[in-house]
Amino acid sequence: MTSPKLGKCILVAILVLGIGCAALLLTWSPPPEPRVPNGRAALLDSLAIEFPNPVLSREIEEALREANFTLDVYSYWNVSVDLYRNLPTVVYRLIILRVHTAAYYKEGRPVHVALGTGEMYSERKYLSLQLKKRLGALVLLTSDDRYFAIPPEFIESEMQGDFSGAIIIVGGCKGLITNVTARLLVERGASVVIGWDEDVTADHADRAIVCLVKRLAAGDTVASAVAETMRLLGPDPKYGAKLKFYPPEAGGVRLVGG
């Protein structure tokens, strides 16, 4: 038989325990819902063959996190002809092409620009595409190695899908020395193409990419992001290259999630 004193102690203990549980129930709240990314971006980095910049992807990723975006990074060995072929089928809102570009001239005037890959060139590979002039080649700056290049004919005839309004940044030299390649990317569904009007050094181009991404992630329009980047960094110190965008009426485009 329980004594009256022991009974009182048990009752007090139950009351205290009950009060503690009630306090826990009153103060507990469910953990916040995980933040689901609302957009995807891609970095194609075939320029790393000659000019590696391991910090760049982290800086871009951090900037995009503010806009709740994720970043897919394609190292140079993945920047293949097939990647370009299927790139429009992935719903990226921002595509950064950190690639070599080759400007083709006729009678001293630039005709179009080809986009570099990280896939070594071979005369025996993609023979049909080469015969139809839908694939080209470019030579690296620091060696005689050649890699496949994507000319306008490839964008027009071989790319699959639609870019779904993506903003495309062409980080290589003379990406917008003519509008031919940019126009075809826009016809393939890009909302706007940002690039350089002349040769540009890798270091200056990389700093401009980071600045552009930060401004776009902060909600700036394309026109504002380009203008602010040029204000902060200025033209390329060696070649005088300036950023521009195509088409001119796309200056009001903003980076939006999917």
Instruction: Say if CB 239 and CB 201 are below 8 A apart.
Output: yes
Question: How far apart are alpha carbons 194 and 173 in whole angstroms?
Answer: 12
- What is residue 111's predicted lDDT score, i.e. its pLDDT? 87
Name the residue type at position 96: I
Instruction: Say if CB 167 and CB 194 are below 8 A apart.
Output: yes
- What is residue 110's predicted lDDT score, i.e. its pLDDT? 87
- What is residue 66's predicted lDDT score, i.e. its pLDDT? 85
Average pLDDT per consecutive 10 residues, the chain (258 residues; last block may be shorter): 46 39 39 59 97 97 95 97 97 97 90 96 97 95 93 97 97 96 98 98 98 98 98 98 98 91
Give, in order, the Cα–Cα distances in Å from 67 to each of 13, 53, 136, 170.
Answer: 52, 23, 37, 21
| 165 φ, ψ (degrees, to nearest 5) | 80, 15
Radius of gyration of the chain measured on its C-alpha atoms? 27
Name the residue type at position 35: R
39-250 architecture in CATH?
A: 3-Layer(aba) Sandwich (3.40)
pTM: 0.85
Task: Tell me the angle at which helices 56-65 and 202-217 cross, rounded to the nearest 10 degrees.
Answer: 10
- What is residue 37's predicted lDDT score, i.e. its pLDDT? 59
